[in-house]
Structure 1
Amino acid sequence: MKKNTLIILTLMLSTMNLFAQANEDKYLRSSLSMILIETDDFPEKNAVMESWNNYPFPDKYNEHDIDLKSININSIQLTDDYLLEKGYLQDTLDNPLKLMKATAVPVRYLNVEQTIAVVIPTDKQIMQLKIDKVLEETGLGKQLISSWFNRSSDGIFDMSLIQERGFYNASEMEAALASGQVRGMAALADAGAELIKNTFVTFTSLEFNPNEPVAAAVRDAAKQTASESNLPSFVLNKTMKGIDAVYEKTKEGYFVSSKTWLFQLAWDESIATTFYSDLYTNPAAFDVTDIFKLEFVGVQYNQSLVTFKIGEKRTLEQVIDLALVRNVDNAFAELQKDNDVFKPATPISYVDPFTAKIGLKEGISAGDKFEVLEMVWDEKTGQTSWKKVGTCTVDKKAPIWDNRYAQGEDTEPQTDEDGNIVTATTFKGSSNIEVGMLLKQVK
């Protein structure tokens, strides 16, 4: 690690132009790239693409810019050779017992009599395989590194982005992140290691289904049942009106299903040493290397329903926009809960009352537990680290900040019981908690 520190310091000193920033959001963030999985059957595809392109990027992450923004999954072909390479099509089912056991999985029969077959991937596995193929063929890991080091058209790297994002860790920490203990140059030196290894990529597929066909089917079935129930005519008429009212309320909008795959850039001491020693000043070597990989972290399946209120007027674009944003937000909230490595850190805004800008968008609930972190300087190792200094919970007696996306909705400002507008979530915790320390949710 000392060797890398010296290398990074040398590179930074050659380009460094220290600057001060007044932004209060100077805190440790992971970096994120988001990729949309397109399909040929998107309803209102232009509206979907516009909504995705205008998606409010999660503010707890740095937006990591890469060339790959979307992929058309239908254009990706999986050959038998590729499936064999990935471990499929290898086990031949050639007796009745094996074939019976394989009834729960898709198979490909190899003869007319259907007595010989091989197991083929499921739909979920096919999607995963296609994403893996995209990672391989596009060199996505290399794209992420190129973005980190601001690679120019002639292959030259610089440290400007590392410096900029590392500076969040190494600045004077106006929000008291370091409590005066962090030395700027040291944080700049290890910023590359700390920031690059926390680089993530998501692939998101979306399926839009209009509510009306489902609502109509439910209405027709309910009316059929009511008609056959021998109800008195005045009761039947009232029931039919009620069924129609439910239909009118639920027919507009979309039912949205999404799947979000999460990957993390592999970055360790060995990879860093190779990069700084052999690739940083050798564009040709970087062009042919394949050491930059992404590791699968998890996948989240999510569903949401967006409807109109009676008498409410929304454009189709607004409905799609609201459905997409809320669905993706929910997927991110669940991925954060399920994967510690992806959980964002949130700075403490105030201590009286103790609040932080995190809320329903991130999926938190009353009583949820968080650990409190402070950045400290280790004299022995010459590195910075995050130290747990306390715990806190979401205050059960105070409203949770509703920071969910509400495009096209005419809503009143959220207030507490005293009529104050809610702009953050209130917590209860240790007395030694200070402004600028970070919160990270625990299970």
Structure 2
Amino acid sequence: MTITLLACTMMCGGSLLPAAAQKKAEQTDMKYRRSSIYSLLINHSDQTFGEEIRNAFMEMPVPDKYNDHELSVKVVELSSKLKGAGSSDENEQVTQFLEKNQIASRLVAKWFNRDIFTGQCDMELIKERGLYNATKFDEILSERSVRSQALMMDAGEDLIGNTFVLVNDIRYIDKEKTAKVVGGLFRVLGALTGYDDLG
């Protein structure tokens, strides 16, 4: 009887351990991870207010919620209008630009502070951003052990996957011109349907 009770207790306890571990893993995954962003403007210099849009974009700061992961190129000149986001056809011009200029490789190289002349890398940016993501409690705990502090700095490596490229295609729309076209269309439709007959 005692053996059966002991075996039953061990089975129940053994099944609770994975559940507790899973819950702890879920809580760990919920930690705040600050993303990094690289913003790019598709400029159409031939459009109305094209230069003003470019200047305003260049003055815009990186949002507070993101790490600045900008590269040297912030503005790309394209002559054709881009298709909307989420369209089934991926915009080939933007994709070609990103691939031709090896933007993904350059973003990863920036994470590792890669020297373009020597090819040497370091972990300083990763450590810095890893520490930024740590909570105050994590920092207090890590002060007690050199290994904990090193682990916390290395946690920055997890942030590389949170690097995003944001492509902006900003256009000026003349509402007055559009309103005139729509108004003219309604006048034509009104004349065709004969609003005089309704009264």
Q: Normalising by the residue count of structure 2, what TM-score does the alignment of the two structures yield?
A: 0.62
In structure 2, C-alpha distance between the alignment counterparts of 1:199 and 1:65, rounded to whole Å: 11
Partner of 1:139: 102
Structure 2 distance, partners of 1:136, 1:164, is: 29
Q: Indicate which of 139, 153, 163 corresponds to 1:188.
A: 153
1:288-340: CA deviations, max 9, x gaps? xxxxxxxxxxxxxxxxxxxxxxxxxxxxxxxxxxxxxxxxxxxxxxxxxxxxx
Match of 1:169 in 2: 133
Q: Find the residue that maps to 1:203 and give its secondary structure.
A: strand
Aligned with 2:50 (options 35, 45, 51): 45
Give, as a single letter, the amino acid of the residue that structure 1 aligns with 2:51: N
CA offset digits 1:149-193 (Å, max 9, x no partner): 2233533322221121111134xx33x5x495563221112322x
Q: Deviations over 1:328-365 (max 9, x none)?
A: xxxxxxxxxxxxxxxxxxxxxxxxxxxxxxxxxxxxxx
Match for residue 73 of structure 1? 78
- Aligned pairs for 1:174-323 (under 5 A) are 174=136, 176=137, 178=138, 183-192=148-157, 194-221=158-185, 225=190, 229-230=195-196
The answer on 1:34 being equivalent to 2:39 is: yes
2:3 equivalent in structure 1: none
Q: 1:218 to 1:131 in 2, by over 3 A?
A: closer
Change (3 A) 1:165 1:217: same
More helix by share: 2
8 A contact 2:37–2:66 mirrored in 1: yes
Question: One-letter code of the match for 2:114?
Answer: R
Q: Which amino acid letter does the alignment assign opposite residue 141 of structure 1?
A: A
- Select the structure with the greater relative contact order (CA < 8 A; seq sep ≥ 6): 2
In structure 2, distance between residues paired with 1:169 and 1:158? 19
Please state whether the residue corresponding to 1:37 is helix, strand or coil: strand
Could you tell me whether the CA contact under 8 Å between 2:35 and 2:163 is conserved in 1? yes
Partner Cα separation in structure 2 for residue 139 and residue 191 of structure 1: 23
> 2 CA distance for matches of 1:33 and 1:180?
32
Letter of the structure 1 residue corresponding to residue 95 of structure 2:
D
Q: d(CA) in 2 for partners of 1:54 and 1:222?
A: 41
Residues 179, 140 of structure 1: alpha-carbon distance in 2 compared, 3 angstrom cutoff: closer
Segments of structure 2 that go 5 or more residues without pairing to the other structure are: 1-31, 81-86, 143-147
Q: 1:144 to 1:213 in 2, by over 3 A?
A: same
Return the letter of the residue paired with 1:158.
Answer: D
- 8 Å Cα contact 1:65-1:147 kept in structure 2: no
| CA distance in structure 2 between the aligned counterparts of 1:206 and 1:167, rounded to whole angstroms | 35
- Describe the superposition over 1:383-440 as per-residue Cα deviations: whole angstroms up to 9, x where unpaired: xxxxxxxxxxxxxxxxxxxxxxxxxxxxxxxxxxxxxxxxxxxxxxxxxxxxxxxxxx
Counterpart contact for 1:33–1:202, Cα < 8 Å: yes
Q: Does 1:54 align with 2:59?
A: yes
Amino acid at match of 2:91: Q
Highest CA radius of gyration, 1 or 2? Answer: 2
Once residues 179 and 69 of structure 1 are traced to their aligned partners in structure 2, the CA distance between those partners, rounded to angstroms, is 35
SS of match in other structure, 1:34? strand
Secondary structure of 1:206 counterpart = coil
Secondary structure of 1:31's counterpart equals strand
| Residue correspondence of structure 1 range 107-126 to structure 2 within 5 A | 125=89
* 8 Å contact from structure 2 (residues 34, 133) kept in 1: no
CA shift in 2, pair 1:195/1:214, >3 Å: same
Q: 2:113 aligns with which of 116, 138, 150?
A: 150
Matching residue of 1:274: none
What fraction of aligned residue pairs are identical, expressed as a percent? 28
Secondary structure of 2:129's counterpart equals helix
Alpha carbons 2:43, 2:50 under 8 Å: kept: no
Task: For 1:34 and 1:136, locate their aligned partners in 2 and report how far apart those are by CA, in whole Å.
Answer: 16
Offset of residue 40 of structure 1: 4.6
Q: Counterparts of 1:66 and 1:49 in 2: how far apart (Å)?
A: 16
Query: What letter matches 1:203 in structure 2?
Result: V
Aligned partners of 2:175, 2:133: CA distance in 1, in Å?
47
**1:129–1:219 distance in 2 versus 1, CA, 3 Å:** closer
